[in-house]
Amino acid sequence: MSAISEEAVPSFRLSMLVYDTRYRSLTFQFIALAVLIAFMAFMGMNLVRNLAAAGLNISYNFLGDTAGYDINQTLIDYTNQSTHQRAAIVGILNTLLVAFLGCVTATVLGVFAGILRLSGNWLVAKLMAAYVEAFRNVPVLIWILIIGTVVTTLPAPSAYRGETPDSEMLFGVIALTNRGIYIPAPVWGPGSMIVVAAFILSILGAIMYRRYATKLLYDTGKLLPMGWPTLVILIVPSLLVFFIMGRPIGLDYPALQGFNFQGGIQVQRPLIALWLALSIYTGAFIAENVRAGILAVSKGQTEAASALGLRPNRTMSLVVLPQALRVIIPPLISQYLNITKNSSLAIAVGYADITATLGGITLNQTGRAIEAVLLLMLFYLVISLAISAVMNVYNKSVALKER
Amino acid sequence: MKAYAFIGALASAGLTAGVAGAATLDDVKASGVLKCGVNTGLVGFASPNANGEWEGFDIAFCRAVAAAVLGDGSAVEFVPTTGKTRFTALASGEIDVLSRNTTWTFTRDVDLGFSFAGVNYYDGQGFIVRKDLGVSSATELDGATICVQTGTTTELNLADYFRNNNISYEPVPVETNSEAQPLYLDGACDAYTTDASGLAATRATFEDADAHMLLPEIISKEPLGPLTRQGDDQWADIVRWTLNALIAAEELGVTSANLEQMAGGSNNPEINRLLGTDGDLGAMLGLDADWAKRAIAVSGNYGEIFAANIGEGTPIALARGLNAQWTQGGLIYAPPFR
């Protein structure tokens, strides 16, 4: 009896950590973790000790010092008397701006190129194939430099000067120069807020109309036109209010004054170059994701839709794309992250992103390399994880719901 | 660039302790080659010639140090550095000496932990503009777009100058001189600002050099000089006194032409001490007696180097000005060799 009960109680021996398959993997994972922690600790200690030996210390006090340099594109108030911290925030906003613009245009471009590459039209399909292959297989830095150079070959502002200028403004209001593109800016006069309010209400109205039309379609099968009523709802009330209020919103046209164009909105050359390069480059990758997503939808779906009498564009938008999205979105997330991270090549065209301000000028002027780079890493980590989190929520919403 | 700076910083942190202990002189002698950080390309100061050999004012100094230490003026490995990478390259031990028209400032000397060997060119920041821009003074540049090399003192001086004069400008940051040139020539900037010597050098490379002019304002003091890591005084002394030897040689009339004759002994005891025929100054530096003679032999004394690379006989055509010997009304002055 006692012998049996002794066998029933599993007695733990140290050797079981290695020989018992139940514990072995845990043991090795633990050892690997311990080694990793020890290695990181050693590297950290090494860094601190050597910094101390070199008479340096880790300190973020420099963030409060006066930056002393100017930045060409600032979305918030900034002068050269602002602090390094302010300069870093200016850089962060510039990074976010180009990343956001890049993501939007790359998506549009990618979806179009991806669909068109599957087109039955030989020329269109081959053109898109050429675009995708050319842009995917050349490093993004090269594209940034090429597009930066191309933008620089636009006429200089001085070409617009004189009685018979070498260049003319587009439609008389838009100036394309190698310092940037100048477009008219809206001037908000008194009462303009009412027009804006009317426009916002129109948007809500348009959304409600579309909902109603969809509901009607599902309930009764009656198909209301979607396209032109939406446009009418969007435009007509705002226009009416605009004229009733006596045209409160004017336009500020750019005009050549002194060395540069003044007035209007200036989209600077570095932003244009970087934005274009990132969108076109990443658009090529997104095109491939889209193509893969569409091809992943069984051909039977398309045939079934055709059999029901749906036209090809409706088949695409109502049947194929919604299913393809489930395949497209996960790789799309990583493309968005790529755009954000690739935007750190901004300095190649002189765009003042976070890498150029905090990781470039501030780092150089203060000599605080480790502190600045650690901050940079933290920023890119946070922003990438945030994009990833948001996109994952969206992915969940379109993923196949298993019931 | 980010990764580069970070690796540089880590390497600097990882290596500084080791470097501070070991003498740079021993390292250089052991490897048999002097690693000299230079500009990525600034004609007259440091640029590869048609045969791919580096030449220029800063290059000549690297060769002089190599000759003094290793006995061979060609035993130099030139490491091109940008305004941003130069300090990490030096701090990390990637290069032994930085000879790259670098301005001597308080923070670079004290906070970044470098030792400046002296001044080999007294410079100041200027502006270059097209003549047809119709600007004759920097104070007329209100609202102008200005190209400026990022990570340099010029960027800060520019901001200070425009602030002082209550005028505005739009900066276009560029990484290197060669990136600035096309932007300036295409009219993407109205003016380009950097050290006046660099502007003269850049202007010399333009096809239509006469269509451009340097504005009269010099908005800053830019004493340029070679530098080494702080903490290795012997190495810093070698670099400092090599520079002084080149300057003293000009003052004393020692040229590459009469060097052998002078080294045979002269009536001037300072020349004898400089060239090692008298005293043991070389041994005090940890070098042999002929160190200065070899340094001068490579490309001549300070004046010869100046004349050959950036002087009035070259396309860059810089006058000696402040960079004349103190006996000629300039600021170039070497402490006595005794």
What are the angstrom distances between the C-alpha of A374 and each of A58, A60, A385? Answer: 11, 11, 16
For the domain made up of A84-184+253-398, the CATH class stated in words is: mainly alpha
What confidence category does residue B1 fall into, taking pLDDT thresholds of 50, 70 and 90?
Answer: very low
Considering only CB atoms, B1 lies closest to which of A53, A153, A347, namely A347
Please give the average per-residue pLDDT across B62-73, as a whole number. Answer: 94
Q: Whole-angstrom Cα distance, residue B58 to residue A298? A: 68
Q: Whole-angstrom Cα distance, residue A52 to residue A50? A: 5
Where are the CATH 1.10.3720.10 domain residues in chain A? 84-184+253-398
Domain ranges within chain B, ordered by starting residue: 2-122+223-328, 125-220
CA A324 from chain center: how many Å? 21
pLDDT at B3 over 50: no
Please give the average per-residue pLDDT across A18-41, as a whole number. Answer: 90
Nearest CA in chain B to A380: B2
DSSP for A317-337, written as a single string: IIIIHHHHHHHHHHHHHHHHH
- Per CATH, the homologous superfamily of domain B125-220 is Periplasmic binding protein-like II (3.40.190.10)
pLDDT for A295:
92
B292-329 pLDDT per residue, tens: 999 999 999 999 999 999 998 888 888 898 899 999 99
- Pairs of CB atoms within 8 A across A/B: 137
| Residue A316 per-residue DSSP state | I
For residue A275 the two structure tokens come to 């934005």
Closest CA to A181 of A268, A262, A110, A98: A268
Q: Whole-angstrom Cα distance, residue A226 to residue A102? A: 29
- More confident call, B283 vs B85: B283
What confidence category does residue A24 fall into, taking pLDDT thresholds of 50, 70 and 90?
Answer: confident
pLDDT at A241 over 90: no
CB atoms closer than 10 angstroms to residue A102: 27
Please give the average per-residue pLDDT across A75-88, as a whole number. Answer: 90
Considering only CB atoms, A70 lies closest to which of B142, B171, B189, namely B171
- Indicate yes or no: CB of A347 within 8 angstroms of CB of B150: yes
Interface-testing mutation among B145, B158, B174, with chain A (most A C-beta atoms within 10 A): B145
Interface residue A152 vs chain B (CB under 8 A): yes
Query: What percent of chain A is predicted at pLDDT more than 90?
Result: 35
Inter-residue contact A87 to A69 (CB < 8 Å): yes
| Residue B17 per-residue DSSP state | H
pLDDT for B7:
46
Q: Whole-angstrom Cα distance, residue B316 to residue B112? A: 32
Closest CA to B80 of B99, B52, B57: B99
Interface residue A80 vs chain B (CB under 8 A): yes
pLDDT for A153:
84
Interface residue B158 vs chain A (CB under 8 A): yes
Please give the average per-residue pLDDT across A288-303, as a whole number. Answer: 92
pLDDT at B9 over 60: no
Interface residue A352 vs chain B (CB under 8 A): yes
Q: Which residues of chain B are within 8 Å of residue A355 when distances are taken between CB atoms? A: 1-2
- Indicate yes or no: CB of B14 within 8 angstroms of CB of A50: yes
- More confident call, A161 vs B306: B306
Looking at the DSSP bridge assignments, the partners of residue B222 are B123
- Indicate yes or no: CB of B83 within 8 angstroms of CB of A364: yes
Residue A111, helix vs strand vs coil? helix
Interface residue A303 vs chain B (CB under 8 A): no
Torsion sign, CA atoms A369, A375, A379, A380: positive
pLDDT for A8:
57
How far apart are the CA of A257 and the nearest CA of chain B, in angstroms? 9
- Asked, colleague to colleague, whether B2-122+223-328 and B125-220 share their fold, the answer is yes
Q: With respect to CATH, is domain B2-122+223-328 assigned 3.20.20.70?
A: no
Which of A217-226, A241-250, A262-271, A373-382 has the highest average model confidence (pLDDT)? A373-382
For residue A320 the two structure tokens come to 């194929």
Query: What percent of chain A is predicted at pLDDT more than 70?
Result: 95
pLDDT for B5:
45
pLDDT at A55 over 70: no
Q: Mean pLDDT across chain B, nearest whole number?
A: 88
Please give the average per-residue pLDDT across A365-378, as a whole number. Answer: 87
The residue with tokens 């491939």 is: A288
Residue A68, helix vs strand vs coil? coil
- Indicate yes or no: CB of A56 within 8 angstroms of CB of B113: yes
Question: CB neighbours of A118 closer than 8 A, spacing ≥ 6?
Answer: A125, A291, A294, A295
pTM of the model: 0.77
Inter-helix orientation angle A269-296/A84-117, to 10°: 40
Inter-residue contact B87 to B212 (CB < 8 Å): no
Please give the average per-residue pLDDT across A364-374, as a whole number. Answer: 84
pLDDT for B146:
92
Interface of B with A in 168-187 (CB under 8 A): 169-175, 182-183, 186-187
Please give the average per-residue pLDDT across B71-78, as a whole number. Answer: 94
